[in-house]
Amino acid sequence: MNESISSGSEVGRDAIPRQYLSFLLEDEAYAVDILRVREIRVWEHVTPIPNTAAFIKGVINLRGTLVPIIDLRERFGLDPRPYGPRTVVLVLVVADAGQERTMGLVVDGVSNVCTLAPDLISPPPDFGGAVHAEFITGLATLEGRMLILLDSDRLLNLAEIYAVGQVQQQANLDASPPPPSGEGD
């Protein structure tokens, strides 16, 4: 299903419509630039990697390339959900530290491909420092629903993912009870 939306006024380079692949998390619709999507795969077993953030599910071997798999629900702080028949992995190519990397995103399901003219995309609201919206490139209304457009390069930046993992690990250590201390210390 390919949904096309435009406004009629398409003059200049900035007015070129772009295609996005939309998908669901919870009941919210998100989208990434279709040019970043290499394939859509059904959920399959991954090889876990120790000492990584909970949202990093592990890696898969995709035709000789090890691809890190990130659960986007958990990356966004949503409650984990068991993977089912509609659960898919979006395999994306992202720019990270000046090179391209292949990464996978676990999402609840894929919706469709849509074409959006730039004048139909609103910039993300300024939440101040209270909400991290750096992954959001814009918002659009599609079929009466808000569509959140994501910047896959920022979302899947390995240095930031590593930093988030370190913070989560430290939080887990801080939350665990202290070891018993010996008498006479």
Mean pLDDT of 91-105: 87
Nearest to 60 by CA among 110, 103, 96: 103
- Answer whether residue 110 shows pLDDT above 60: yes
Which helix (H) or strand (E) element contains residue 22? strand 18-25
Does 127 fall in a domain? Answer: yes
Number of structural domains (the chain) is 1
Q: How far apart are CA 95 and CA 99, in angstroms?
A: 6
pLDDT of residue 12: 40
Rg over alpha carbons for the chain, rounded to the nearest Å, is: 19
Domain with 16, as residue range(s), is 2-158
CATH classification of the domain holding 67: 2.40.50.180
> Considering the domain boundaries, does residue 183 fall inside one?
no
Nearest to 103 by CA among 71, 138, 143, 145: 71
Tell me: pLDDT of 96 over 80.
no
Mean pLDDT value across residues 158-184: 52
Asked if residue 110 is part of any domain, the answer here is yes
> Cα separation of 148 and 32, whole Å?
9
Would 169 be classed as within a structural domain?
no
Is 184 within the bounds of a domain? no
* Mean pLDDT (whole number) for 156-169: 54
Give a yes or no: residue 122 inside a domain.
yes
Does residue 173 belong to any structural domain of this protein? no
pTM: 0.75
Is residue 27 in some structural domain?
yes
Q: What is the pLDDT of residue 98?
A: 77
Is the pLDDT reported for residue 167 higher than 50?
no
